[in-house]
Structure 1
Amino acid sequence: MEIEDEAWTKAEPEAEALVWRAAQAVLDAHEDIEGKNIVILLADDDSVQALNRDFRQKDYATNVLSFPAPQDPGANPEGQIGDIALAFGVCAREAAEQGKPLAHHLQHLVAHGVLHLLGYDHEGDDEAEAMEAFEREILAGLDVPDPYAEDISA
C-alpha cells in the first residue's frame, strides 16, 4: 500500500487500516485466491486523472480505478491480483455529497475495486445487482451501512 496524498490520513487517520480491512474482507470471501497480493494507492485527483487518461482514455479523475494483473504466471510471477488507485478529492467530495463518513465511502470503494480485480462488473443490470449484493454483504461485515440505500442516514 502506498499513501501518495497525505490528505487521506489527515482526513481519516485510520485510512490504511480501513483499506486493508475492506480488501481483506473481499479476499476472505474468495478462498481460491489465498496468498495473492493487491497494490493499493491512495492518491490525489491529478494522479488518478493521469492514470484514467493514460490507461482508459478518459481525461478526468474518478473515485477508484482497478487494474487487474495478467493471470499468466509467466507475465505475473508474483501472483498479483492487480492494482487499485483511489482519488482523495473525488472520494471526499462524494462522501460529503452523500452525507456519509469518508471512512465508510473509502471501504466501499476499496471493496468495489477489489471485486473488479476479481472479475466482477456492473455493465449489465444482472451483473450490477450481483456486484452490489456482494458489496452490501462485505460492508455489513465491516459495520458499514448499505451504500446503495436511498436514505443512508437511517
Structure 2
Amino acid sequence: MVDPNANLYIISKAPNGRGIIAQLPNSAWGTGTRVAISSTAQLNIDSTHNDPVGGDISPSGNRVLIQAQESVYYWDVMAEHDYLSVLQTPGVKLPYIREPKAQSICWSADEHGYYTLGEGKDQPLYLYTLTETPIVG
C-alpha cells in the first residue's frame, strides 16, 4: 500500500491474519542503496487463513482497507495518518462477497466505495458502495 506521501506499507501473510506491517519511508526511493526497515507492527484481523491478501490506502490517506480470504476490514486513520498504530487496533468488517481466490482490493477515486477482484481468468470485478462512513469502535 502507498500513502499520499509516497511511503510504502507492506503486510506479510500470516496464519490467522496476524501479519507484520513494515513501513518504507519515501526518502528511500531513488537512493540506489539498501534501506533498513525500522518501523514494524502486527496487523490486528481475525482469520482462519493465511491472510491478508490485499490492501489499499484511500486517495486522501484517511482510510485503509485490508482484504482477507473471508472478510474486508476498514480503519479510519484520522488526520495523523499513523497507519502502523491504527492497524494494530481491530478494524470494522465491511460487506464482502467471498471470492474463491480473493486477491485484490482498492478504493474508488471518490472514496465512496471499494472494488475487489479475485485471481484468475474472467473473474468478476465487485463494487461495494458505502452509503455512510463505517463507525470505528
The question of a shared fold, defined as TM-score above 0.5 by the shorter chain, is answered with no
Q: If each structure's helix is expressed as a fraction of its own residues, which one has the higher value?
A: 1
> Could you state the TM-score of these two structures normalised by the residue count of structure 1?
0.27
Q: If each structure's strand is expressed as a fraction of its own residues, which one has the higher value?
A: 2
Larger RCO, structures 1/2 (Cα 8 Å, 6+ apart): 1
